Structure 1
Amino acid sequence: MHTMWKGTISFGLVNIPVKMHAATENKDIKLRQLHKKCKTPIKYEKTCPNCDEDVKSEDIVKAYEYAKNKFVILDDEELEALKKEQEDKAVEIIDFVQLEEIDPVYFEKSYYLSPNDGGSKAYALLREALTDSGKIGIAKMMIRSKEQLAVIRVYKEAIVVETIHYPDEVRAVSDVPNVPDQEAVGQKELDTAKLLIDQLTTKFEPEKYKDDYRTALMELIEAKKNNEEVEVGKENKEKPDNVVNLMDALQESLNRAKSDKPKSTKPKNKTTGKKTAKTKSPVKKKKATS
Structure 2
Amino acid sequence: MKLHTATENKDIKLRQLHKECHSPINYQKTCPVCEKEVQNEEIVKAYEYTKNKFVVLDEEDLEKLKKENEDKSVEIIDFVKLEEIDPIYFERSYFMAPDSGGGKAYTLLRKALEDSGKIGVAKIIIRSKEQLAVIRVYQDTLLMETIHFPDEVRLVKDVPNIPSNEKVVKKELDTALMLIDQLTTAFDPEKYKDDYRTALMELIEEKKSENATVIANDKQAPAPANVMDLMTALQASLDKTTPKKTTKKKPATRKRTTKKHA
Q: How many residues align?
A: 230
Instruction: Report the equivalent of 1:142.
Output: 125
CA distance in 1, matches of 2:43, 2:205: 41
Normalising by structure 1, report the TM-score. 0.75
CA deviation map 1:174-201 (0-9, x unaligned): 1112212223223333222222212111
CA deviation map 1:124-177 (0-9, x unaligned): 111011111111111111112211111111111111111111111111111112
Please point out which of 138, 141, 153 is paired with 1:158.
141
CA distance in 1, matches of 2:101, 2:159: 50
Q: Which runs of 5+ in 1 are unaligned?
A: 1-17, 248-290
8 A Cα contact 1:87 1:141, kept in partner: no
8 A Cα contact 2:49 2:55, kept in partner: yes
SS in 2 for 1:96: strand
Does the alignment pair 1:116 with 2:94?
no
Stretch deviating more after TM superposition (118-127 or 64-73): 64-73
CA distance in 2, matches of 1:129, 1:246: 66
Distance 1:152 1:173, change over 3 A: same
CA distance in 1, matches of 2:114, 2:122: 17
Q: Which amino acid in 2 is paired with 1:67?
A: T
Stretch deviating more after TM superposition (232-241 or 146-155): 232-241
Instruction: Report the equivalent of 2:54.
Output: 71
CA deviation map 1:96-125 (0-9, x unaligned): 111111111111111111000111001011
Q: Which amino acid in 1 is paired with 2:27?
A: Y
CA distance in 2, matches of 1:245, 1:100: 61
Q: Which amino acid in 2 is paired with 1:104?
A: P
CA distance in 2, matches of 1:119, 1:245: 53
Please point out which of 26, 29, 41 is paired with 1:43.
26
1:51 Cα offset (Å) = 2.0
Instruction: Report the equivalent of 1:212.
Output: 195
CA distance in 2, matches of 1:200, 1:236: 57
Tell me which stretches of 4 or more aligned residues in structure 1 moved more than 3 Å: 238-247
CA distance in 1, matches of 2:15, 2:115: 49
Instruction: Report the equivalent of 1:62.
Output: 45
Please point out which of 58, 63, 73 is paired with 1:90.
73
Rg larger for: 1
CA distance in 2, matches of 1:243, 1:27: 40
Q: Which amino acid in 2 is paired with 1:72?
A: V
Does the alignment pair 1:172 with 2:141?
no
Stretch deviating more after TM superposition (163-172 or 232-241): 232-241
Instruction: Report the equivalent of 1:255.
Output: none
Normalising by structure 2, report the TM-score. 0.82
Please point out which of 23, 26, 32 is paired with 2:6.
23
Question: Cα RMSD (Å) of the superposition?
Answer: 1.8
CA distance in 2, matches of 1:169, 1:218: 35
Please point out which of 95, 112, 123 is paired with 1:129.
112
Q: Which runs of 5+ in 2 are unaligned?
A: 233-262
SS in 1 for 2:174: helix
Distance 1:86 1:244, change over 3 A: closer
CA distance in 2, matches of 1:139, 1:31: 37
SS in 2 for 1:126: helix
CA distance in 2, matches of 1:140, 1:117: 22
